[in-house]
Amino acid sequence: MDQKQIINYRQFSWLTASLLTGGGLVSIQQVLLRINSMDAWMSYILPTLYVIALCYIFSQMVRRFPGKNLFEVTKIVFGGVIGTIVNLILLLHLWLILVRDLSSVGMFVGITLLPNTPEEIIILLFSSLLLYYGKTSVEVLARVNDLMFPFFVLLILSSPLMLTNEVDNFLLLPTMAGNIKNFLSSNTLSLGWYGDIFVMGAFLHTLWESKQVHSAMRHGVFLATLLLCIFLVLEVLVLGPNMAGNFLYPNYNLVQQIHITDFLDRMDLIILSIWFPVTACEVILIYLAFITGIASLVKQRDYSSINTPVVLLLVLTTLLSFRSTSEVFSFGNYSSPVIVLSYQPVLFLLLWLFALRHPVKQAIKSPMQDVQKQKDPSQVSETDGKREGAPDGAETSEKSEKQGSKSKGKRNPKSQPNPAPAIFHPFTLRAWQVSSNILLLLCLASICVGLRMSKYHSSVGVACALTYGFCTIVVVLSSYMELFTAKQIRKDQ
C-alpha cells in the first residue's frame, strides 16, 4: 500500500458530500417527516452550521500539522496517553457507525430488492467490498466516487422534472406553520448523521493546503444539504407528509412514482444502480477511516495487515447487534445524536484550543507538485545549463529567462477560466467565504422569521421558504467559487 496518499480538492469535496448523502437517504427522512411534517426540509440548517464549524477546526489542524491526520494530531496535541484514549473514543464511534450502516444497507436491500435472500448473505457480500478496498487506499475510492457521484447529483437535480406530473403544490401549504420545538427536534436528529463528518479528519494528510481543506469540506457540506433538501421537498410534494412519514423507505417509494413512458415505468432500478455505489463509497470511506485509526495506535499508516481480521470482526458484530429493522432505525435515528453530542463538541473545541499553542508551519509542497515540476521541461535550473556545457553564466541566465517566458506563455492558455460572471471576477477567497456565510445566515434568518410570522400571515411563510430555497442553491455556487479560488491561489504559489 502506498503510504503517500494524495487526492485533489474536488475529490475531497465529493467524498464529503457522499459521506453525508449516502447514509442520510436510507432511514432518517422518515422520522423527520413524522416530526416536522411538511416543514421537514428545514431539518438540516443547524447541523450544517455545526459542520461548518468543524470544517474550520480541521483547516486549522492542516495549517499547524501539515501531512497529519486526525488521529496523529490528537496524539501530538494531547500527548501519548490522553491522545490514545481520545483515539479509542473516536474508533468506538466509527465502529458504531459501521455497524449501523452495514445493518441499514443490508436490511434495505433485503426488503426492497432481494426479499428471499438472507440478510447474512447480503452483509457478507457487502463486506467483501470492504475487504477489497481495505487493501487499497483512499485514492482508489476517490476515483470510483468520481465516476458515480456526478450521475447521482444529476439524478437528484433532474428528479423534479421527472416527477412534474406527480407534484401537488398544495401539499407544502401552510409553509412554516410548525413550532420551534419540532424544528429543534428534527435538527437534533439530523445532527446525528451530520456528525459523521469527523470521518474526513482521518484523511487530512491527503491535502497539503489548509485553504483547500476548508473550501472543499464547505462545498461538500452545502452540496449534500441541497441534495437532501430536494429529496425531502419532493417527498412532501408527491407523497404528502402523512403518507411519506408512514413509509419505511419514503425515498424508494418516491422514485417508484417516476413514470416517463410506458416502457420506462421501472426507473427505480436505474436510480438504485446509481445510488447504491454512492452508498457503498460512503461505507467504505468510514471503514478506511476506521482501519487508519487502528493503525495509528501503533504509529503506522499501513493497515493492509489488519484488514482481514477487522472485516471479520465487523461482520460478526453487525450480525449480532440487531434483531429487527425497528432496532436498526431506533439506533440510527435516536442514538446517533446522543453519541455525537456526548463528546464531539467538547472534544473538538479542546482540540482547537490546544492546537493554538503550536505555531503555524510553512506550507509544505505536495509531492504531486514536485512530480509535475520534474515532468515540466521548462523548469530548468542554472546548474543544469552548466552541466550541458553552457559557455558562461550570462548565456545560462538568458536561456533560463527565455524558458521562463515560454513557460509563462504556456500557463495562461492552460489556466482554467473563471466560471463566475465578470462582475464577480475581482472577488477574493475571503470575499467568497464571507458571501457564503452571509447566505447561510440568511437561511437561518428566513426560518426564524417564517416560524415567527407565518401563523399570522401565510404569505410571509411562503416568502421565507422561497428565500431559504434560493439561498441554499446560491450558497452551493458560492462555495464552489471558494474552491475554485483556493485552487488558483495554490497554483500561483
Q: Where are the domains of the chain?
A: 9-360
- Average pLDDT of the chain is 85
> What's the CATH number of domain 9-360, 1.20.1740.10, 3.40.50.720, 3.10.129.10, 3.40.1280.10?
1.20.1740.10
Please tell me the predicted confidence (pLDDT) of residue 298. Answer: 86
The per-residue pLDDT for 1 is: 52
In angstroms, the CA 5 to CA 208 distance is: 11
Nearest alpha carbon to residue 217 among 391, 70, 377: 70
Range from 276-285, 374-383, 414-423 that averages highest in pLDDT: 276-285
Q: What is the mean pLDDT of residues 337-357?
A: 94
User: Does 185 score more than 80 pLDDT?
Assistant: yes
- Please tell me whether the overall predicted TM-score, pTM, comes out greater than 0.75 for this model: yes
CB under 8 Å to 39, separation ≥6 — which residues?
175, 176, 177, 178, 182, 183
Looking at residue 371, what is its pLDDT?
A: 45
Instruction: Tell me: cis bond preceding 309? Omega within 30 of 0 counts.
Output: no
Query: Looking at residue 490, what is its pLDDT?
Result: 61
What pLDDT was estimated at residue 61? 92
Closest CA to 436 of 195, 222, 187, 153: 222
Spatial distance between the Cα atoms of 121 and 422, rounded to a whole number of angstroms: 56
- pLDDT at position 260, please? 79
pLDDT > 50? residue 452: yes
Which tens digits make up the pLDDT trace of 353-385?
Answer: 999 988 887 655 555 455 444 444 444 444 444
Euclidean distance between CA atoms 211 and 63, whole angstroms: 8
Q: What CA–CA distances, in Å, run from 296 to 68, 139, 444?
A: 11, 19, 39
267-276, 345-354, 439-448: least confidently modelled range: 267-276
DSSP-assigned states of every residue in 117-183: S-HHHHHHHHHHHHHHHTTS-HHHHHHHHHHHHHHHHHHHHHHHHHTGGG--GGGGPSTT-S-HHHH
Look at residue 399 in the predicted model and tell me its pLDDT.
Answer: 46
Tell me the HSE value of 43 on the side-chain side, using a 13 A CA sphere. Answer: 33
pLDDT at 345: 95
Per-residue pLDDT tens digits for 109-135: 888 888 899 989 999 999 999 999 999
What one-character-per-residue DSSP string does 351-420 give? HHHHHTTSPPPPPPPPHHHHHHHHH-TT---HHHHHHTT-SSHHHHHHHHHHHHHHHHHHHHHHSPPP-S
Q: Which of 197, 184, 159, 210 is nearest to 21 (CA)?
A: 197
Instruction: Report the Cα–Cα distance between both ends of the chain, in Å, rounded.
Output: 30
The whole-angstrom separation of Cα 52 and Cα 177 is 28
- For the segment 174-180, the average pLDDT, to the nearest whole number, is 87
CB contact at 8 A, 201 and 61: yes
Higher pLDDT, 92 or 251: 92
* Cβ proximity of 86 and 78 under 8 Å: yes
290 or 7, greater pLDDT: 290
pLDDT at 407 over 70: no
pLDDT band at 404 (very low <50, low <70, confident <90, very high): very low
Confidence of residue 284 (pLDDT cuts 50, 70, 90): very high
- Residues 188-243 pLDDT 10s: 999 999 999 999 999 998 887 888 899 999 999 999 999 999 999 999 999 999 99
Select from 256, 27, 278 the least CA-distant residue to 159. 256
pLDDT at residue 270 in the model: 86
pLDDT of residue 42: 92
Q: Does residue 157 contact residue 233 with C-beta atoms inside 8 Å?
A: no
